Structure 1
Amino acid sequence: MRLGEFLENINEGIVLLEYEPTDHPERTFHNLLEQFSKKDITPVIVDIKDTLQVFVQQLKLQGLQVNTEKLRVIKEGGRVIIGEIIGKIDEFEDFSHHMGKYWEVYKNIPEKNRKVVIVLGLHKFLDQINPKISKIEAYFEIIGRRHLQEPGRLAVLFVNIEASSHYFLKSLEELSDYVLRIDKNQEVKIIASPGGA
């Protein structure tokens, strides 16, 4: 199944997209942007430690373009500026302060512009905070659950399973509504969903 087909059947929740580096997650990201564009939706991109720049560069090498000027981006660390930066958060040492700053940025985005949030490089963020389940739950509360308090909101989180600990991955999977595994052909396998895999 393609990701687009899967997303046609859901309109809200937290979707965890697991991938290995050789699976070309940047293509899945590109397909997501195209699909949302057809629905006249511009997602908010949470760019952790310049993952967006890596994805855009990989897409260029494959002959695929992303209209970066139209992207609305919350930067979490990193230096490369791509798209319209609607907020920047560089504080990683104090987790509570970091999440407070994220929420301040997010709640100032007009409601009509925050239907979809795509998080790139989640494993890089949680590497910085020495993840404990309480911190992972707090992150999901801010990035996902608060975002989803209004019906019809979707959060899509990309995570590199090769760069993530088993404990971290299992915690993420438990807190997500849907868990999908991407392969190099851009097919997705449903690992977990509310109705069972």
Structure 2
Amino acid sequence: MSVTAACHNGRPRKQLSDQLDRLDGIIDVLADALPEAIRDGLRDALQAVVADALADPATLAVVRRAVVTPPPAAAAGPSRRAAFLARCQEAAAAVRAGATRLAARALSVVRGGVRRAEALVAAAASKVASVRRACHVAWHLKRAAVIAVAVGAAVAVVSLASHPVATALSGVGAGLTAFAVQAGLWCRRAVRPWVA
């Protein structure tokens, strides 16, 4: 009996190694595309935050107040030139104050958006890292499973001379033992950097 026996529908059965290779390819593509996706997402989030800030009626009111000059006071001025200069200085001060308030509000809105975007990026990076760790563990246990199957098959072939039930039991036991030994060795290698 072949390992790649056909299923009932005539197609070859999917192999674990093929699926793991496919998963490794997907992880590589994700690792290559993740920085671009983060940059694009951050740019889109910042554009949305700035657009929201500019669309806010309160922000527009601040801009209008900064642009509109207050009505002139009915005070007798010494000359037309001095009065004109005073009005220009008042208008410049009002524009400066309005621009300062608008810039401070826009800056606080942008900072809030950046913080939200950073939190989203950190959450996505954490999820990708956990998936990558799980795939890394599965990839390393693949070798242990192959060794376990090989040892179990070898013991079963050697034990064929005796009773069939004893042969099957010894093959299964040897395979499980080999798998446990390989998994233990792998765990020891994986934990060694953390302990040392």
If the length of structure 1 is used for normalisation, what is the TM-score?
A: 0.21
Instruction: Name the larger-Rg structure.
Output: 2
Specify which structure has the bigger relative contact order, considering alpha-carbon pairs within 8 angstroms and separated by 6 or more residues: 1
If the length of structure 2 is used for normalisation, what is the TM-score?
A: 0.21
Higher helix share: 2
Higher strand share: 1
